A and B are shown apart, each in its own frame.
Chain A
């Protein structure tokens, strides 16, 4: 079975631009989460979606938004990019919202903002 897939793998943008990152979860998984990982740090939680509803939001500005589609894939949008948005963006999927759900991560999208 295919794992979590993300596109694109790499992206270069300039300050002020907008970017959309995409994620397809493991087949059968209904929950998708997004994380930002700045170089040298652990991932920071951005959003979690389950059954197309937002179930959690991290401490990120409103420039960050996301949605989940009926097929459970997800998009993360970042508007008005800043240099500090340069990071590895990781998507993770899990079966559901249960007590022991393991999140499985995709390969990530490396975003560089110039």
Chain B
């Protein structure tokens, strides 16, 4: 079964506007981590933001914020004041706890392509 679902294959957003990228996840673990990465056309995966399953506050990093709704198993990324350089593929990923003292692999969604227009 798909662990991470990103339902938006692509979207256009105007410069200076906010954009929300959807991510839902599937896990029976109580302890897990959620990550968002940005991948420009160059290929490098750039870490954006992290949310732990026990974190009560939504994570924020500069223009990035994560709308974490645990009961709905949703971890949407919000990019405020979009810039042309934000054009890239965005991946949501999850890491579940494998054992009490170790964590498993990062599992990625299919990604959402964002194009920022002037």
Contact among A42, A45, A56, A88 with B43 in the assembled complex (CB-CB below 8 Å) = A88
User: Quick one: given A42-B110, A99-B33, A102-B50, are A48 and B105 in contact (CB under 8 Å)?
Assistant: yes
Count of A residues near B, CB < 8 Å?
27
The distance in angstroms between the C-alpha atoms of A90 and B110, with both chains bound, is 16
Determine whether the beta carbon of B107 is less than 8 Å from that of A101.
Answer: no
Contact among A90, A98, A99, A110 with B45 in the assembled complex (CB-CB below 8 Å) = A90
Q: Across chains A and B, which 9 residue pairs bring their CB atoms closest together, nearest first?
A: A42-B108, A105-B45, A45-B105, A107-B44, A108-B43, A43-B108, A42-B110, A56-B105, A97-B102
Best-surrounded residue of A58, A99, A101 (most CB of chain B within 10 A): A99
The distance in angstroms between the C-alpha atoms of A97 and B33, with both chains bound, is 13
Could you list some 11 contacts between A and B, CB below 8 A? A42-B93, A42-B109, A56-B105, A90-B43, A90-B45, A99-B33, A99-B103, A100-B33, A101-B103, A102-B47, A105-B44
Interface magnitude class on chain B: 20 to 34
Chain B binding surface, main DSSP class? strand
- The residue in chain A whose Cβ has the minimal distance to the Cβ of B4 is A42
The distance in angstroms between the C-alpha atoms of A33 and B107, with both chains bound, is 12
Work out how many contacts link A and B, with CB atoms closer than 8 A. Answer: 63
Contact among B33, B37, B52 with A105 in the assembled complex (CB-CB below 8 Å) = B37
- Give the residues from 89 to 108 in chain B that come closer than 8 angstroms, CB to CB, to chain A: 91, 93, 97-98, 101-108
The distance in angstroms between the C-alpha atoms of A58 and B84, with both chains bound, is 36
Chain B min CB distance to A37 (Å) = 8
Q: Does A15 contact B (CB under 8 A)?
A: no
Interface string of A14-54 (1 = CB under 8 A from B): 00000000000000000001010000011111001000000
Chain A residues contacting B4 (CB-CB under 8 Å) are 42
Q: Does B25 contact A (CB under 8 A)?
A: no
The distance in angstroms between the C-alpha atoms of A98 and B45, with both chains bound, is 21
